[in-house]
Amino acid sequence: MRRSQRDTEESTGITTRRGLVLGALMGSVAVVLGARMRHLQVDQADQFRLLAEENRINVRLIPPARGQIFDRNGFLIAGNEQNYRVIIVRDEVEDTDKVLADLAKLIPLTPEDIAEVKEEMARRSPLLPVTVADRLSWEDISQVAVNAPSLPGITPEFGLSRLYPRREDYAHVLGYVGPVSDFDLSKIENPDPVLQIPRFQIGKSGVENKLEPMLRGKAGNKQIEVNAAGRVMRELGRNESQKGASVQLTIDTTLQNFTQARLGAESASAVIMDVTNGDLLAVGSAPSFDPNKFVRGISVPDYNELLNNKYRPLANKTVQGLYPPGSTYKMVAALAALEDGIITPRETIRCVGHTELPGRRFHCWKRGGHGRMNLKNSIKQSCDVYYYELALKVGIEKMSAMAKRLGFAESHDVPMSAVAAGIAPTKTWKQERHGQDWVIGDSLNAAIGQGFVLASPLQLAVMTARLATGNEVKPRLIKALDGEETPERGGDTLGFDPSNLKQIQEGMFAVTNEQRGTALGSRIADNDYTMAGKTGTSQVRNITADERRRGVTRNEDLPWERRDHALFVGYAPYDNPKYAVSVVVEHGGGGSRAAAPIARDLILAAQFGGVPPLSAYPASQRARIESAFKKMPLWPPGGPPPEEEQA
């Protein structure tokens, strides 16, 4: 059937409209495709060319700035300094030997340095940068930058390196940082990628090590364009790093410096503690060392000198050193007996210079004996026989339990390296450790702080703080993290009978303030700052019966390593305790002669906030003390070292 002309016209119109619509759509698509192709081929040509040539783009980590450490008053004690260095990326170098040889003409680079760099490059991924040299001068780094076009794969960089402005004062507290080693990485289950940065510094000891994750911060990254010659052309993108947390310690820099200076050349240690909140105000270990040497890479001769020094400067004696506490432990035995109702303060024991046990005689330090001794006088004159007899009544289990209440045999929670727990022995302990039964003689030795008993200077300070307050004071070293205060550790009451605690305190007061007190020579003349304390002398050798018949050899006549350790613990002011102190002088002889004078100076410095005034000392001692203070290398709190210390 033939279609009418009208139908044909209508059909043609519809077809025309559809064609126009389709044509418009196709044209639009073509325009979009064309615009997109132009965008990809023209506008983003460089980027896609670089992406196609993957070896031309590197992603490098940006090391974070390590968190700074401050003392309790805001003085910087661990910071960062500028460090100019040169790195090399093996994947960007065709002839490593030539590039390193050319670089050696511009900066100090020995054949040994080059060999070390090549060895490091062989161990690392070709894409990872390796540090060729660091701590360069501005002139050296400028030379490298100017000649960069002819040094493919070589990049001059600016970084940060750790700096300890107070040097020896904080070496044992802060510890030090050093480059990440393979051994360090082997101890970490999932190493942070930032640890792959060449010579990235991490904490090796002390606070630097214990707070490493917080101090380290988080790495950033940057994309860089490298041309065919290995030269960095430009930076394509960057995500900034996040610096580490800032840390504030409880240590007072002025007091810390005074403590280190007062210990001097002795092989000794001291702890000063705030008994009201547990804050460690000074933690001194002598001799010390400059931690900056480790940051920069200590030389073999310097390290061997420290390692072979018989005074052990690398050890933090305040927490790592364990010593027989000697007579400072007598308060433990006395308080155990009082709390258990075994003795009364007025009850006396006759000291004839020794106590007899079947097959053995235990001697008092005073050969002729002390005569009749009550509790107070036994502490004041440090009568050994009194405590031998006490041990027979109290027994080792109760003494050990009291020791633990007072802070012994506990690894206290402070972020320092190798915090030792010490020993408060029991019968079970000896059987497990030595496979032997406990004997009565062991208890007698323990009562005077000898035998198996071992304690650190930190534990002795904790004991003293608890005796001064009756509270479970715990040491605190970190005052704040990123501005947020950490809880104080003054502690709750230990539940001692106040009258029993008062008896111990009165005995300690008599030690330093009454005639025949073993530390009367170290008394404080100003009654507002009076100190109570206890001397201790711990033997490091056995005295034979033959030597006793001939006369015991004086410490000063013995080789240094065979002399007794000297100890002292104390607190002040007596009427309102604020500070506790412990001092241990290795092989120093008697506690009254070697340790007590140091402790007096330290606890006075704590109370006065610096060098004590001469008026605090007995008049007869002032000239000698003034002369000694003038010779001490003291630093201003936030300033440079004294002239004689600058090098």
What is the domain-level CATH number for residue 227? Answer: 3.90.1310.10
Position with higher pLDDT, 72 vs 62? 72
In the set 327, 400, 417, 456, the catalytic residue is: 327
Mean pLDDT of the chain: 87
Number of domains in the chain: 2
For 119, residues 6+ apart whose C-beta sits below 8 A from its C-beta are none
**Residue 83 sits in which domain range?**
57-249
65 burial (CB, 10 Å; 0-12 / 13-18 / 19+) is: middle
User: What is the mean pLDDT of the segment spanning 393-408?
Assistant: 97
Between CA 576 and CA 376 the distance in angstroms is: 20
199 and 295 in a single domain? The answer is no
What is the domain-level CATH number for residue 426? Answer: 3.40.710.10
pLDDT digits (tens, 9 = 90+) for 140-177: 888 878 887 788 877 777 778 899 999 999 999 999 99
| Percentage of residues of the chain with pLDDT beyond 90 | 60
Find which of 29-33, 184-188, 189-193, 625-629 is predicted with most confidence, using mean pLDDT.
625-629
220 and 117 in a single domain? The answer is yes
627 and 496 in a single domain? The answer is yes
Asked whether residue 436 is assigned to any structural domain, the reply reads yes
Position with higher pLDDT, 190 vs 109? 109
pLDDT digits (tens, 9 = 90+) for 276-305: 999 999 999 999 999 999 987 788 899 999
Asked whether residue 35 is assigned to any structural domain, the reply reads no
Asked whether residue 573 is assigned to any structural domain, the reply reads yes
237 and 332 in a single domain? The answer is no
Boundary residue ending a domain (207, 234, 249) = 249
224 and 261 in a single domain? The answer is no
Asked whether residue 1 is assigned to any structural domain, the reply reads no
232 and 284 in a single domain? The answer is no
pLDDT digits (tens, 9 = 90+) for 327-363: 999 999 999 999 999 999 999 999 999 999 988 999 9
pLDDT at residue 646, rounded to an integer: 39
Token digits for 39?
A: 């965008």
Sign of CA dihedral 282, 283, 286, 287: negative
Boundary residue ending a domain (249, 267, 285) = 249
327 labelled catalytic: yes
pLDDT digits (tens, 9 = 90+) for 197-212: 767 889 999 999 999 9
Inter-residue contact 485 to 250 (CB < 8 Å) = no
Closest CA to 633 of 288, 118, 156, 268: 288
Position with higher pLDDT, 60 vs 114? 114
168 and 193 in a single domain? The answer is yes
240 and 266 in a single domain? The answer is no
240 and 296 in a single domain? The answer is no
258 and 348 in a single domain? The answer is yes
Asked whether residue 42 is assigned to any structural domain, the reply reads no
Asked whether residue 172 is assigned to any structural domain, the reply reads yes
Asked whether residue 50 is assigned to any structural domain, the reply reads no
Asked whether residue 14 is assigned to any structural domain, the reply reads no
599 and 520 in a single domain? The answer is yes
542 and 575 in a single domain? The answer is yes
Predicted model pTM: 0.84
pLDDT digits (tens, 9 = 90+) for 32-47: 776 676 666 666 665 5
In this predicted structure, the answer to whether residue 52 has a pLDDT above a threshold of 60 is no
Which residues are registered as beta bridge partners of 155?
Answer: 87
